[in-house]
Structure 1
Amino acid sequence: MNRIITLLLLSFCCSSFSQNMVADLKIQGNKKLKSSFVKKISNIKPGVVLDSSVIEEDIRLIKLLPSVAHAYYQVFPTEVPTLFNVFYNIEENFTIIPSANIYTTNNDEFAYRLGLYEFNLFGQNMIFGGFYQKDIYSSYAVNFRAPYLFSRSFGLAINYQDLTTQEPVFFNNSTADYKYNNESFEVLGLFQLNFNNRFEFGLNYFTEDYEYKYGATDPNVPQELVVKKMLYKLIYDYNNLNYTYQYIEGFRSLFNFQYVHSRDDAQLPGFLIGWNDFLYYKRFGKNGNWANRVRLGLATNNKTPFAPFSVDNNVNLRGVGNTIDRGTGAIVINTEYRHTIYEKNWFSLQGNAFLDAGTWRNPGGDFGDLADSKNIRVYPGLGLRFIHKKIYNAIFRIDYGIGVTPDATQGLVFGIGQYF
């Protein structure tokens, strides 16, 4: 019996020692991106079992990095039969990127946002930058995001903004325009459970300042309001998208939940707000890409002129204008077909046909508002995408949306990056 047990143990040990193992992980092709950073976020390391599924997961993660245009791997044997060197080959993006968003409608509205961001700070895929916005009033923001600051799983984000706009406020079938200012400071912890599942959680301290400019008035609607608030935020991101240059395939679900309350509880009641973006992308042939986004949003149904969900040109409906309505619930559908018209080396030109549609629940209303034709807006349109394949997010887009529902507007929307 002892002899049999000994033979079994020897057999087990021999089979273990005969496993293919990783001798070393080598990074090639990178210039600004640090090899030490790629090794830190990779699960393949010297001494682990050689597993193609683990390597492929590493490559998918690396391809999602803003600093990487494309990545692939190679495996080569060493002089020892069971030891192999793994090579990760990197094609880098240029990562100091300007951002721009410009829009206009047939109401002669014109606004723009210009920014500059570094997406590979210190070669560690940290994002740092900010923007200046002119939308009647001036605004600015500074953002820092380091998703792999502490490890492959833990990171940090810090954001500051001073945003001032002219906002329409809707009440009693009338409208007033207010100067709105939001000054905020936010700290978020970032946690990546695995390749597909990511969480963000943190605090946002902000001050809202509403100042009446002109339009209708009501004794129950203050003409001046300054309130300090605290916001608790939770984001859950399920991401199973696969990128090949400008093409995307797969499914993503992005859930955002917030609890907001006044730091002076006697002033305003707290409220809850949450929304989920469902995104689905499918390739068609060599040059086609179908993209879809469905947003479902719901907030505490306070009857307030300052409801959280807005109908806005740069957020949900291309061509609709600047914050033309508000609600405490929203259903928005964006779908578009993108087709590469011309492609050579680093440059691609895409054309797209889109349909944006949405409906909102009125503040204090009921879910029947979502089916009310007065709240439904539909905007089809056409656009172009000018794409630099070697610069991160270097997609200059032009879209023209035309409203087909009653009292609709139409207009151009310019921006950097795909609309969704």
Structure 2
Amino acid sequence: MLRQFLFLFILFCANLQAQHNVIHDLKIKGATKTKPSFIKSLLKTKAGKPLDSITLKEDIVTLKRLPSVAHAYYQVFPSEDESYNVFIHIQENFTILPELGFWTTTNNRFAYKVGVYEYNFLGRNIALGGFYQNNGYDTYAINVRAPNLFSKHFGLALSHQNWKSEEPLFFDNQSANYLYNNISTELLGLYQIDFNNRLTFGINYFTEKYQYLRGATSPTVPRNLTVDKLLYKLLYSYEDLDYYFHYIEGFKSILYLQYVTSQNDFQEQFVIAWNDFFYYRRIGAKGNWANRLRIGFASNNDSPFAPFALDNNINLRGVGIIVDRGTASIVYNTEYRHTFYDKKWLTIQGNAFIDAGTWRQPGGEINDFWKNENIRLFSGVGLRFINKKIYNAVLRVDYGVSLKDNTRGIVFGIGQYF
């Protein structure tokens, strides 16, 4: 009898304490463009629910992952009846980001790219935008991505692109330049499983066209090729990153699975799979160590159209523009970023990096990874100019030098390299 009484008393006290720790009101401060109702829909913290510091911390990380949020923090104040008021403070990013780029192509043509993206359309963190590019040929794309279109957990992404570029193909220890044209339309479902895990899945219908321009020829490689294809895509991402403005700490993994079908005898159906592993660590007050390991495999067809490219803008800074292709790759990028200047809106970072990679040749063997001619190793330094008020407004320049030969080059871009 005494045990039952003690149990009921403890249960009563716990229930009474839970009632006292209830959130009386939840207010969003500092949100001018982002709708407060949208922000509240993403949070687990709600008025009328028990106050939980762990949940609040998770909600703050969720907000800092949004393109529209530069920084977020919370405050808790006592309210009437021993309940609490919770204030979520938001520092918003400017989310309309123009895109402008100039460069020279492999055949020394002047090229440029202009575009604009809005990452907080309608105040609901919908990304909408597109670009036009001229590298001797006209390219354009339009994209919309609404990760919370239907609910906190489910959204859609839609894109259309007409891409043209002059690209080298490699076969029989020779190369030829082709005009490559990819016209694609993609529809993706976006599903957030929980705080750390997300799924992206969908279909891409595209037409690839190859037109011979100049270089070596082979009776086994067509001069003109048009192929209609279907690409089934699945991405699984695990993210445990914490952001403090331009500083990042934590771990992230993204698995990409793609299955491509085509009605063409020259290019068979094939599978592509790769995983990106990211690890970031804060070092002191101004340092950030960043790492990316990419491991990828595709169907090992002996074809010049192998999917994994060796390129400045993808994996190895300084190597050049599409200098080789393979059916598998292992790439490791590591860099130390140090902040030299940090004021209200502008941050300047310097970085030192090492990029290393190896490829399996089309139709080759696993031991291709260990062959000296397939291993590339680069090192270099760079600068980052970061506008802290604009989402992803990072202008980067890197200078990479091969540690094996005389290859070197400068790489420009928008956003951190990884």
The TM-score, its normalising length taken from structure 2, stands at 0.95
CA contact (8 A) 1:102 1:111 kept: yes
1:98 is matched with 98
User: Within 5 Å, which residues of 2 pair with 1:4-153?
Assistant: 8-9=7-8, 11-19=10-18, 20-81=21-82, 83-103=83-103, 108=108, 111-153=111-153
Alpha-carbon distance, 1:135 to partner? 3.0
What is the CA–CA distance in structure 2 between the aligned matches of 1:6 and 1:336, rounded to whole Å?
63
Alpha-carbon distance, 1:221 to partner? 0.6
Per-residue CA distance 1:359-395 (angstroms, 9 max, x = gap): 1110000011111111112221111111111111111
CA contact (8 A) 2:105 2:135 kept: no
| DSSP 3-state at the match of 1:177 | strand
Change (3 A) 1:358 1:102: farther
What is the CA–CA distance in structure 1 between the aligned matches of 2:106 and 2:325, rounded to whole Å?
20
Change (3 A) 1:355 1:108: farther
Change (3 A) 1:304 1:6: same
Change (3 A) 1:310 1:111: farther
Change (3 A) 1:320 1:284: same
What is the CA–CA distance in structure 1 between the aligned matches of 2:401 and 2:360, rounded to whole Å?
23
Change (3 A) 1:106 1:231: closer
Change (3 A) 1:288 1:323: same
2:407 is matched with 409
What is the CA–CA distance in structure 1 between the aligned matches of 2:175 and 2:299, rounded to whole Å?
22
Matched length: 416
Alpha-carbon distance, 1:225 to partner? 0.6
What is the CA–CA distance in structure 1 between the aligned matches of 2:330 and 2:114, rounded to whole Å?
29
1:254 is matched with 254
1:177 is matched with 177
| DSSP 3-state at the match of 1:140 | strand
Instruction: Give the aligned CA root-mean-square deviation in angstroms.
Output: 1.9
What is the CA–CA distance in structure 2 between the aligned matches of 1:379 and 1:104, rounded to whole Å?
22
| DSSP 3-state at the match of 2:130 | strand
Alpha-carbon distance, 1:111 to partner? 4.3
What is the CA–CA distance in structure 2 between the aligned matches of 1:280 and 1:409, rounded to whole Å?
28
User: Which structure carries more relative contact order (alpha carbon 8 Å, separation 6+)?
Assistant: 1
Per-residue CA distance 1:157-201 (angstroms, 9 max, x = gap): 111111111111111111111100001000110111111111100
What is the CA–CA distance in structure 2 between the aligned matches of 1:138 and 1:106, rounded to whole Å?
16
What is the CA–CA distance in structure 2 between the aligned matches of 1:392 and 1:322, rounded to whole Å?
28
Q: Percent same amino acid at aligned positions?
A: 56
2:365 is matched with 366
Alpha-carbon distance, 1:288 to partner? 0.9
CA contact (8 A) 2:105 2:111 kept: no
Alpha-carbon distance, 1:331 to partner? 0.9
Gaps of 5+ in 1: none
Change (3 A) 1:181 1:265: closer
Gaps of 5+ in 2: none
| DSSP 3-state at the match of 2:335 | strand
Alpha-carbon distance, 1:268 to partner? 3.4
CA contact (8 A) 2:106 2:321 kept: no
Alpha-carbon distance, 1:100 to partner? 4.0
Alpha-carbon distance, 1:266 to partner? 5.1
Deviates most, 265-274 or 165-174: 265-274
